[in-house]
Chain A
């Protein structure tokens, strides 16, 4: 059986050959060799180490000695060269079981005693297969050769020791120890250690899309401790020794150290390594030293073969093939025995050739002869046919317009070519939530700051409209598209062979791909920048509050008084500042290269400098726009005021004298504040506001004419928002739009949200961030540290020096559960304590609300550090950073040390909208009998909410929640829930039986289980209980589940219930689930390509699933199943003709047909129709399948390809062959018919029967079918006629000269053929007719009836209303059917 797998695998490879997959796959021989080399070098070079020195340095001699075993950078992915092609290709090909079978038959035929045909004839199938595959291999290899050549000859700048400069060199000439200099958007030619980056922070960004498909940028750091840090790198001065591990294929792991000339050793890790075939981004120049080259690079070592999955159908097929083998053996054995007996009875007649041979021996020989004669019975060619059929099916799936996403311009990608029919058998669907059911376009929806909720109603309204529906979509799809095409381009280029398994590239022009290689991929526009994300409509109230920051006068008093309102203002400002800077977003603007954006790079140390900075920046474009809010005369004051705000309550070293010019503006601001209070009663401390009412006046606002006009307007707040919007819009016009490249979509959403409040992240440099604050212009925020996000901490932090206070501040952003725990109540006065706890309470309440609404929640917190604290922490952090051993743990520890005692600022609710048509799709899938499970890492409330939204949960469903803390509790709970379900089911049936119209009847049970409980439930003891429970539930929602749990759940269901499972997901956390499931579907969305890379099919929208499964799955399954049955039928039917003849020729292995015709019958005459049948047949039209999802279920409950169908087919084949043989037999019995003349009508009618059988079995016949059938028939008759004319002495002993021509001139031939065909097909025809009349699918029929009924109903209603209108217009309720007769009477 393994052989068959191998064969299929190989076939698939070959069939997909032109797709360019495996371009980079290292041939077995090579990889073996290299591993061998590794092994050797391990001994030679200090165990598992490799030493790298500069090629051109003083250690040149030494290094050359060491490095002679290192591979060059030239790659060779071809399998063959001109000389070795034929022997190696043959060797490869004879690894295939089918070829071995053919070879065995051919060799068997060379044994004189068992020879059945001429020697050359049995070699035809072998030769045909070998030639076809050899040609394919050759073409494939030639393409690889061309590609290698192209890659090897790509040019890169390499440091030349003699010329002391960087010169252009081909990739293949790059050696280990060379210094390579790369620019932005160049592809890295080999694995190199990053020694220099033009980025002052010593980082560079790479895109690894070619490697793993992820399009987000990854940061790489220059090796630390280099003497020339910060200055232009000079290779001559590099004298360090590098020691690193030997080449390994682990992409994320790299270990080693660099020993500088000073003797200092610095650890190296994977963030220092630039990997081959990645692309440099956002960095102008980088220089690195090559450590691994060519086939030793991680990219090259990571080329695993294509995905291979076996479909359920194939597994069944294999058993049936075994049955065929069994059948063949029986037939051969009976022939052998028969021959032995016959020979015993005819020991020495005149026709006996060799009377001396013992009957037993002769029987033995005949056994082998018969194997040659009946070889067709084993449908080896079926495997090839199946592959071709699947290719055709894939072609149609790939080309389906309904699976095409116009916004992204992306089609479905079919990555696994051999499980199309499994799509038609799915019983369980496991879906991820985020990005799968939802769009994963994180959009800022609402927020809560300082315990005050800002509902952002406008924003909500905006989100209700789907982008796709509006005409604006065209505009936004440009950015989307470019981002996406960048993605797909990079997938195709270079070593991304795994992605190019898809038919994408099968259809792609090779030239196109080459172009992509030569001209580097254009800089992409940013990821996660949909229009939806960007255009956040600010909340009017928040805008107004925030604007207070811009109105300098306000604060003047407020700064002094410690009133909560100003405290709130600081919260708000801090909140937005945190949104803007607490991330790893890279800013770029289309007009300027991304890395040039930040202009200020020196950290600001004192507020004096800030002042200066502000003055400088007041002439920046931004100031022009914001000038109305910062009038020139008092330019200095607002900043200082704002700074005061932030220094409040702290005993910071910075104190500022505030100019007290605040006396006149109080009434205005008072008015506004009143408005505020009337609008929002729930606000904190209304007394404080009232106090402020008196104290604050606002003269400055009068500079803004619009605003002053609007002052009396009750909708002033709205006006303010509009103003703001206008400003933002004009801002966008004058400035080039900023593009944010974020690692995750929520980050981008938050930055955009901050931008909407004019708190704009303008740029990022090594150690500072440039942020616009409303009214304050651009501020440089000195960036001290970034503690990146990790899934353990579930948060990220930035440590900055506050731009206004100069204090060291930690901003933390993270999951609410974590942050709420960390946000301790700060020490302080009683009142403050109360307030904080109030804020926490309120925020928690808001968070709960958000979660109920299905929003993603994030908490924002901050922490101020005094210099001493910071110093202490800094030491620990630096220690952690510089350590080599368990660096990760130390860093984690350090981060956790910092992120304590946080002050909660607020929370954000990010909405992730459902994708279009998700509820409909889920409903359809459920109607199709597929159980839908949602596995998500989200909170329970969010998960349930989404489940409601996507109609997985109905109001009438009963929710069973399982949350428990221990295993025993879980066991008990499961029992309890089981009981509950049982009771529920009982009552359900009772209820429905008694009162059908009961409104409160429970229609189903939905289990909601959280991660921890799931953990218990998945354990051995509780498994069965859990399964039993889930089987009774309509749907299951697993929340807070880890990727591992997801895959465990899928595995449990798949293995324990033995059902066909499908997993669909979009993120890296779904990969394991996708791989475990029988069919893995990746959604190419926002979260990189990892899910897509590991999937079998990649779609862009969840809604595509319904057509993919209901139509394509159904078709593929029924097509393939029918094709296989037909194929087996065809072989059994034809082979049996030969077998029956053995009864009349002494079981001697004679055939009544010319041997060429015999071989070609299967190979040529009847090979195409089954393929067409398997590719094009449609048992039920697509529309019907979509309208009636129940048909999907019906198809896999009444399976097409089940054992008894196989046997029915075989029995039918036996019957037909009996008829096909014995009708001519009786027609010719006793006559003077010659051997071949007897075979002629048998062959002809067998062919026609086989073709007509297909016509009967086909559900649809198109002109293609007709053409192929006619051509097949015509080809046969043409061939035999021609052959019987020209073949004078050929193919003894079955020389066909004159046979067919003579036969076809006689009416008897046609009489016999007609009788044979009709008799043979009569049962099948009858069965089909009866079947179609009586047993046509019950669902189908009922649906037809439904349709009829509704149509009829409509018709009747129409009649009714018509008649009524014609009649005396009695107002009658049209719905009341009871009135109909009376109406009719009235009319008549």
Chain B
């Protein structure tokens, strides 16, 4: 026997693999599998769709456009590019309690933060607090690398174009303005705040910026972004971080503040409100719009009708399909099996 085997040393191995006889599942997607599958998927989708739809309906959103294109807009005067330090106030009212926590966004439209050359224009090393790159910013930052032969810190177009409108929200209670406390902490990503963006280990912080200039567009240097909170300056300023995380689409909103404190922890009670806007950011040159958005969030994020409807549509499509299939199946398959 051994001898025989030796003689047949060219004989291929008789294994399931080499002989292509591996046990296999054959997903011949016949109606028998598809119909129950479709029904199941359809039902699940309808379920999810209903949940999403209901959730989405419960989310309240309030958008206020303050671009000031319209003549009757309080901010019309500020929309003039030559106006400096213009302030305007938007009045609005809320009919019922705006469930908290309320998220306060600013929104821009037709703004291409995803423009490739814009997105490239920053220096990650500089932003991670590497002092070497303070004096020698990366060429990526072009055209905002140097200003008057002094390195710009933070360099680059993204940082340069940081949104610089500021808002104050007042509730008008019996004619008196009661400021709504806005929580600016924790609006940026944890990783951005703690890992990605670092200030140089220099105290005071301003010394690190010696020999550098602020971005052209900025009114204040980076180390003075938030005069109220020393820990919120430099590259780890929350607003700066939010801005630096570029939006995916040209119409976007970014988180400005959250309303979580004091009397407003439960949300914004019904009533009249006044929004004081320091109008700085020019958007008319590219037909952009500026707005503020108040919204509360759910487990599925912000308000989005699309997902719920899409789920419902696809789910019911699946069910319809399974019914069609059943008819087809009955018509073509059953006679044969008789």
State the A residues within 8 Å of B (CB). 116, 345-346, 348-354, 369, 396, 398-401, 404, 406, 409-411, 474, 478, 481, 1141, 1144-1146, 1148-1150, 1152, 1176, 1178, 1182, 1223, 1225-1239, 1255-1256, 1258-1264, 1288-1289, 1292-1293, 1295, 1297-1298, 1301-1302, 1306-1308, 1311-1312, 1314-1315, 1318-1319, 1322, 1325-1326, 1328-1330, 1332-1334, 1345
Inter-chain contacts of B98 with A (CB < 8 A) = none
* B199-233 Cβ-contact flags toward A at 8 Å (1 or 0): 00000000000000000010000000000000000
Quick check: is B118 within 8 A (CB to CB) of the other chain? Answer: yes
Of B71-79, B174-182, B267-275, B278-286, the segment with at least 4 beta carbons within 8 Å of chain A is B278-286
Of B19-27, B89-97, B258-266, the segment with at least 4 beta carbons within 8 Å of chain A is B19-27
In the complex, how many angstroms separate the beta carbon of B72 from the nearest chain A beta carbon?
25
Known: A1226-B310, A1260-B26. 14 other contacts (CB 8 A): A349-B285, A351-B118, A1230-B251, A1232-B254, A1233-B247, A1234-B247, A1235-B113, A1262-B22, A1292-B124, A1292-B140, A1298-B189, A1329-B325, A1333-B30, A1333-B31
Choose from B12, B28, B195, B254 the contact partner of A1297 (Cβ within 8 Å): B195
- Do B122 and A1292 touch (CB < 8 A)? yes
- Do A1333 and B333 touch (CB < 8 A)? yes
Inter-chain contacts of A1144 with B (CB < 8 A) = 114, 248-250
In the complex, how many angstroms separate the beta carbon of A876 from the nearest chain B beta carbon?
52
Alpha-carbon distance A1334/B304, docked complex (angstroms): 40
Alpha-carbon distance A349/B300, docked complex (angstroms): 34
- Closest 5 pairs (CB-CB, A-B): A1298-B191, A1238-B248, A349-B286, A1260-B24, A1148-B116
- Do A1145 and B18 touch (CB < 8 A)? no
- Do B11 and A1262 touch (CB < 8 A)? no
Quick check: is B64 within 8 A (CB to CB) of the other chain? Answer: no
> Which among B12, B115, B250, B332 has the highest number of chain A CB atoms within 10 Å?
B115
Alpha-carbon distance A1145/B117, docked complex (angstroms): 11
- Do B12 and A404 touch (CB < 8 A)? yes
- Do A399 and B13 touch (CB < 8 A)? yes
In the complex, how many angstroms separate the beta carbon of A832 from the nearest chain B beta carbon?
58
Inter-chain contacts of B34 with A (CB < 8 A) = 1325-1326, 1329
- Do A354 and B307 touch (CB < 8 A)? no
Inter-chain contacts of B318 with A (CB < 8 A) = 1318, 1322
Inter-chain contacts of A481 with B (CB < 8 A) = 7
User: Known: A351-B157, A404-B10, A1318-B45. Contact between A1333 and B332, CB under 8 A?
Assistant: yes
Choose from A352, A396, A1307 the contact partner of B18 (Cβ within 8 Å): A396
* B96-112 Cβ-contact flags toward A at 8 Å (1 or 0): 00000000010100011
- Do B306 and A1227 touch (CB < 8 A)? yes
- Do B301 and A350 touch (CB < 8 A)? no
Inter-chain contacts of A349 with B (CB < 8 A) = 111-112, 283, 285-286, 288
Of the A-B pairs whose beta carbons lie under 8 Å apart in the complex, a sample of 24, sorted by A's number, is A350-B283, A351-B157, A399-B13, A401-B19, A410-B10, A1148-B117, A1227-B307, A1230-B252, A1231-B253, A1232-B105, A1233-B248, A1259-B27, A1262-B25, A1292-B140, A1295-B196, A1302-B189, A1307-B299, A1311-B307, A1315-B307, A1318-B314, A1322-B318, A1329-B325, A1330-B325, A1332-B30
Of chain A, the residue at the smallest CB distance from B302 is A1231
In the complex, how many angstroms separate the beta carbon of B133 from the nearest chain A beta carbon?
10
- Do A399 and B18 touch (CB < 8 A)? yes
In the complex, how many angstroms separate the beta carbon of B274 from the nearest chain A beta carbon?
24
In the complex, how many angstroms separate the beta carbon of B281 from the nearest chain A beta carbon?
7
Quick check: is B135 within 8 A (CB to CB) of the other chain? Answer: no
Choose from B4, B33, B142 the contact partner of A353 (Cβ within 8 Å): B142
Of chain B, the residue at the smallest CB distance from A488 is B10
Quick check: is B236 within 8 A (CB to CB) of the other chain? Answer: no
- Do A1328 and B29 touch (CB < 8 A)? yes
Quick check: is B119 within 8 A (CB to CB) of the other chain? Answer: yes
User: Known: A409-B10, A1306-B301. Contact between A1329 and B30, CB under 8 A?
Assistant: yes
- Do A1326 and B321 touch (CB < 8 A)? yes
Alpha-carbon distance A984/B116, docked complex (angstroms): 75
Interface residues of B in 236-251 (CB under 8 A from A): 245-251
Inter-chain contacts of A350 with B (CB < 8 A) = 161, 217, 281-283, 285-286
Alpha-carbon distance A1223/B306, docked complex (angstroms): 9
- Do B19 and A399 touch (CB < 8 A)? yes
In the complex, how many angstroms separate the beta carbon of B279 from the nearest chain A beta carbon?
14
- Do B301 and A346 touch (CB < 8 A)? no
Chain B interface residue count: which class? 35 or more
Alpha-carbon distance A1144/B110, docked complex (angstroms): 10
Alpha-carbon distance A1235/B245, docked complex (angstroms): 8
Quick check: is B169 within 8 A (CB to CB) of the other chain? Answer: no
- Do B20 and A1182 touch (CB < 8 A)? yes
- Do A1150 and B119 touch (CB < 8 A)? yes
Alpha-carbon distance A1325/B29, docked complex (angstroms): 8
Quick check: is B14 within 8 A (CB to CB) of the other chain? Answer: yes
- Do A1264 and B191 touch (CB < 8 A)? no
- Do A1229 and B251 touch (CB < 8 A)? yes
Of chain A, the residue at the smallest CB distance from B32 is A1333
User: Known: A353-B115, A1231-B301, A1298-B196. Contact between A1255 and B27, CB under 8 A?
Assistant: yes
- Do A1289 and B27 touch (CB < 8 A)? no
- Do B286 and A409 touch (CB < 8 A)? no
- Do B14 and A1289 touch (CB < 8 A)? no
Inter-chain contacts of B311 with A (CB < 8 A) = 1311, 1315
Choose from A353, A1235, A1263 the contact partner of B114 (Cβ within 8 Å): A1235
Alpha-carbon distance A1262/B115, docked complex (angstroms): 46
Quick check: is B120 within 8 A (CB to CB) of the other chain? Answer: yes
In the complex, how many angstroms separate the beta carbon of B126 from the nearest chain A beta carbon?
10
In the complex, how many angstroms separate the beta carbon of A1326 from the nearest chain B beta carbon?
6
Quick check: is B41 within 8 A (CB to CB) of the other chain? Answer: yes
Alpha-carbon distance A1150/B281, docked complex (angstroms): 25
Of chain B, the residue at the smallest CB distance from A1334 is B332
Quick check: is B336 within 8 A (CB to CB) of the other chain? Answer: yes
Alpha-carbon distance A369/B251, docked complex (angstroms): 24
- Do B22 and A404 touch (CB < 8 A)? no
Quick check: is B192 within 8 A (CB to CB) of the other chain? Answer: yes
- Do A1145 and B116 touch (CB < 8 A)? yes
Inter-chain contacts of A1332 with B (CB < 8 A) = 28-30
In the complex, how many angstroms separate the beta carbon of B145 from the nearest chain A beta carbon?
12
Choose from B192, B252, B325 the contact partner of A1233 (Cβ within 8 Å): B252
Inter-chain contacts of A1329 with B (CB < 8 A) = 29-31, 33-34, 325
Of chain B, the residue at the smallest CB distance from A366 is B116
Interface residues of B in 53-87 (CB under 8 A from A): none
Quick check: is B323 within 8 A (CB to CB) of the other chain? Answer: no
Choose from B12, B113, B217, B285 the contact partner of A399 (Cβ within 8 Å): B12
In the complex, how many angstroms separate the beta carbon of B300 from the nearest chain A beta carbon?
5
In the complex, how many angstroms separate the beta carbon of B338 from the nearest chain A beta carbon?
11
Inter-chain contacts of A398 with B (CB < 8 A) = 12
Quick check: is B8 within 8 A (CB to CB) of the other chain? Answer: yes
- Do B48 and A1311 touch (CB < 8 A)? yes
In the complex, how many angstroms separate the beta carbon of B303 from the nearest chain A beta carbon?
9
Inter-chain contacts of B285 with A (CB < 8 A) = 348-350
- Do A1234 and B245 touch (CB < 8 A)? yes
Alpha-carbon distance A1051/B117, docked complex (angstroms): 59
Inter-chain contacts of A478 with B (CB < 8 A) = 7
- Do A1288 and B195 touch (CB < 8 A)? yes
Quick check: is B136 within 8 A (CB to CB) of the other chain? Answer: no
Inter-chain contacts of B255 with A (CB < 8 A) = 1232
Of chain B, the residue at the smallest CB distance from A1301 is B191
Interface residues of B in 319-338 (CB under 8 A from A): 321, 325, 328-329, 332-333, 336
In the complex, how many angstroms separate the beta carbon of A1095 from the nearest chain B beta carbon?
18
Alpha-carbon distance A1236/B281, docked complex (angstroms): 25
Alpha-carbon distance A1311/B318, docked complex (angstroms): 17
Of chain B, the residue at the smallest CB distance from A1331 is B29
User: Known: A1145-B115, A1239-B248. Contact between A1263 and B121, CB under 8 A?
Assistant: no
Alpha-carbon distance A697/B281, docked complex (angstroms): 139
Alpha-carbon distance A1228/B252, docked complex (angstroms): 9
- Do B10 and A1293 touch (CB < 8 A)? no
Inter-chain contacts of B292 with A (CB < 8 A) = none
